[in-house]
Structure 1
Amino acid sequence: MTNLNRPARLNRVLLGVLGFVLLAAGAFTVATHFDLTVFVADAPLAPELIEPPTWAFVVTACVAIVLGLLCLRWILAQLARAPKARTWRFEQDPALGRTELATSTAVAPFVDEVTAYPGVHAVRATLAGRREAPALAMVVSAEQDGDLADIRRRIDTVGLPRLRQALDLDVVPVTIEFRFSSRTRARTL
């Protein structure tokens, strides 16, 4: 698994822990119902009910609100996805046939070119939208000692013009997200 997929890994771990806790709580509840634990099913949870101090209610409410907001943020983060790749059709006259180009295929040489730039560890790119209104979304994983300004300059002056020329487009709006890789290239002396 690459370092570009950290949120997905975190989601799987958190969902696994949450699932384990819920399964354990459910198993404990069922075991208590059938008197298989040290607790009696009809016994009260707290034999002497003592009113907790007011601050305990405030702290509980604050923790619940913070947890609720964090869960809401987590759910909203799941909705943010990369734009969907499409298939572009180049047809002037349908009677003569049609030509289709998957945008993932169109952007693959560009990704290979940018990956070869100095300081770049890995690149993901998605060309989305119709041919009349394309949009390029990139995630560039740079090495720790990579020069982000130089990488961006090379993308703008070398990579994108070549992509536009290859696709016969005047403008390709691009969004670039830079991330730092935990790996560094071996240096030769």
Structure 2
Amino acid sequence: MNRFSLGLLGFVLLVAGGAAVAVHLGRVPQVDRNAPVLPGTALPPAWVLWVVAAAAVVIALLCLRWLAAQIPRRKVASWRWADEAGTTRITTATAAAPFAEEVTTYPGVRKVEAALTGPHTAPRLALVVRAHGDADLRGIRRRIDDEGLPRLREALGTPDLHATVEFRMSASKAVARTH
């Protein structure tokens, strides 16, 4: 709903802007391009113009900030361990991939996105689990906590790995479509 509303608002603004440009260029014969938009010809006080300009700049900066937040940040980080045998380097995506594949095999799970962040001494795991609508979310979470995470902690040598899990539901796989 949020994306639809934003898309609809953007479309309406785009059409309104296009109509204003068309009228300004004289492409709409029913409208006099020299006619005032609002009645009256007196300009508002100068402070009103400054306030409107400042508000427009603030709104534009907030919109740019929101737009930048929509860009996914998939920074590939790598962890490095050094010991007497040598140096080991692994990307966080490579370390999280087998765990995500394992969780994908749990009943009711469609897809899993796993991201390891932070240094290897204090990592954090963020999971997005896409599950079927009839999936047992408690059971999935229990298996993640009891089976998957202990193996990942052992493999990475990080007993204090903290994980957050976000579930996203889809239509049940058992629901039949009717035509």
TM-score, with length taken from structure 1: 0.66
**Mapping of 1:1-189 within 5 angstroms?**
10=3, 14-15=6-7, 17-37=8-28, 38-45=30-37, 75=66, 78=69, 84-92=75-83, 97-184=86-173
Q: Which one has a larger percent strand, Structure 1 or Structure 2?
A: 2
Q: Is the contact made by 1:85 and 1:104 (CA closer than 8 Å) also made in structure 2?
A: yes
* Paired residue secondary structure (1:160): helix
What residue ranges of structure 2 are gaps of 5+ in the alignment? Answer: 41-58
* Paired residue secondary structure (2:83): coil
* Paired residue secondary structure (1:99): strand
Q: Following TM superposition, by how much is the alpha carbon of 1:144 offset from its aligned partner in structure 2, in angstroms? A: 1.3
Q: Following TM superposition, by how much is the alpha carbon of 1:184 offset from its aligned partner in structure 2, in angstroms? A: 1.2
Q: 2:32 & 2:92 partners in 1: Cα distance?
A: 63
Q: 1:160 & 1:89 partners in 2: Cα distance?
A: 21
* Paired residue secondary structure (2:144): helix
C-alpha spacing 1:121/1:34, structure 2 compared with 1 (3 Å)? closer
Q: Is the contact made by 1:84 and 1:126 (CA closer than 8 Å) also made in structure 2?
A: no
C-alpha spacing 1:41/1:179, structure 2 compared with 1 (3 Å)? same
Q: 1:34 & 1:125 partners in 2: Cα distance?
A: 53
Q: Following TM superposition, by how much is the alpha carbon of 1:169 offset from its aligned partner in structure 2, in angstroms? A: 1.4
Aligned residues: 154
C-alpha spacing 1:109/1:127, structure 2 compared with 1 (3 Å)? same
Amino acid corresponding to residue 27 of structure 1 in structure 2:
G
Q: 1:162 & 1:183 partners in 2: Cα distance?
A: 30
Amino acid corresponding to residue 44 of structure 1 in structure 2:
P
Q: Following TM superposition, by how much is the alpha carbon of 1:122 offset from its aligned partner in structure 2, in angstroms? A: 1.1
Q: Is the contact made by 2:132 and 2:173 (CA closer than 8 Å) also made in structure 1?
A: yes
